[in-house]
Chain A
């Protein structure tokens, strides 16, 4: 522990042990223990149980189940759902951010949008399930409106709200606000000098966006897109509150594995599914870190 104190305010020269006892490293020990117990250990357990059978012996059986068509379809649905809602959410959110350029960050418009976005992006979950049952449920506001006024039955081919397609609209509903929160800082970091330079050289507004704005913002946009993907991929509450039995996406399959002990005739399948989710998340977050490094070049 040579970290005693670089500026030498602590007494030096006394016995090494004294320096060790007074070391500021002790200050981070409680937090480190806490994180180890409640983040490190659960994560290790979640990933580890995938390799253990009912008797506690090592097995690759659960991990092999990741190739089962049931699990593959869960991951495919989860990934497609996350990708579609991430793209739609990112485009709509970026449009809103664009519309907000030039408004005062402290003004009531921005404060209001910030607060509402924060709530819709983080508080969502169960509330979104209720909201969309009230909107496009069988007796929902829009369902009834379309049926009685326009004669359109949105459930003509069966009720899809409680299946994977029914998750698309609720997910977009929390993706757009999240995009507004994470993409707005990137837009605000565009330097007025760049626009002035472009204008001085005879560039139009279109030139500015096409030659400067889009290229500079591209890494931030793609990074935000990845965060949106990760957000939808790990989301559980909305789907769980919409259907108590469904197993269409991976988080719901984990629920089924946790509550029914044996899914696909295997114990500890939840661990294997968790492992699969972590692998997807790790790839997404690694790509995000790469893009972030590129994006930060322009944010100094």
Chain B
């Protein structure tokens, strides 16, 4: 911490210690209440009152009855979707971004606009138009859960684009490429041995944020009648809210872990470029 307000460094006035911890403490406490309430809820022992760890032990030892098979299946579905969405991002978005950065600078603004567009189009609106599109897809390719990844590739666009673009902006792609080319490297070599290693932090960050978004997606899966982690949680919650809340808490922890990793990767990039 930078100690006394405004003393350790000149510049934008820092808040006093009291103000800082007062604000962070109050907001932090308020935001902790629902989480604590969820934990308290999962520990309740039912009618006889008191608390027990029984349900957590059941979940953590995978000792759930067959009626929860839907949950395991849904987690599998969500993981498949996460992997397929990341693959889609790497195969379609990333090469396009590299081509535009290197050869088609006049398309940069267009690409940016298109990639950020899904922010302005609510998923609930998109799903109205996706329903007929998926009608066609089901007839052509079956109703396999992986087909949802095609829609998820769109909703992760803004996040993936920002992560990769900030990395592209931080390295001098053109100079790197020209240097490699004039030393006799072929295009595949340039991409595999020069560009991709330099883009690793951005690609990883984009992949992780995409995974987090896909694991949390509910709207599209629910309205296209496909099963993923979130839709299964809503179903399970109707029969056994305790189990649903426990799984929610666990997935929340996983998501925080993922984002901490993204943060660490992000700091890796800034350190390298500064």
Contact = CB atoms under 8 A, between A and B. Distances in A.
A18 interface: no
Nearest to B238: A244
Interface of A: 3, 5, 9, 24-25, 27-28, 30-31, 34-35, 37-39, 41-47, 49, 92, 95-96, 98-104, 106, 111-112, 114-116, 118-120, 122-128, 130-135, 140-142, 173, 176, 190-192, 194-196, 199, 205, 208-209, 213, 230, 233-237, 240-241, 251, 254-255, 258-259, 270-271, 274, 277-278, 281-282, 285
Given A24-B99, A27-B99, A99-B19, A130 B237 contact: yes
Interface stretch (B27-35, B63-71, B192-200): B27-35
Q: Sort chain B's interface into a size bin.
A: 35 or more
A10 to B, nearest CB: 10
6 contacts: A28-B107, A38-B153, A92-B27, A106-B267, A123-B212, A192-B9
B27 A101 contact: no
A118 B15 contact: no
B79 interface: no
Contacts of A282: 120
A254 B9 CA distance: 54
A285 B120 contact: yes
Nearest to A234: B122
| Top 9 closest pairs, chain A to chain B, by CB | A192-B11, A234-B122, A42-B129, A102-B14, A46-B129, A27-B99, A141-B37, A45-B129, A24-B103
The majority secondary structure among interface residues of chain A is helix
Interface stretch (B51-59, B138-146, B213-221): B213-221
Contacts of B179: none
Nearest to B219: A236
Contacts, number: 266
Interface in B241-274: 241, 244-245, 248, 251-252, 255-256, 259-260, 262-264, 267
Specify which of A37, A39, A125, A282 lies most central, judged by the most chain B CB atoms within 10 Å of its CB.
A39
Given A125-B217, A196-B11, 4 more contacts: A28-B104, A34-B153, A141-B40, A237-B219
Contacts of A99: 15, 19-24
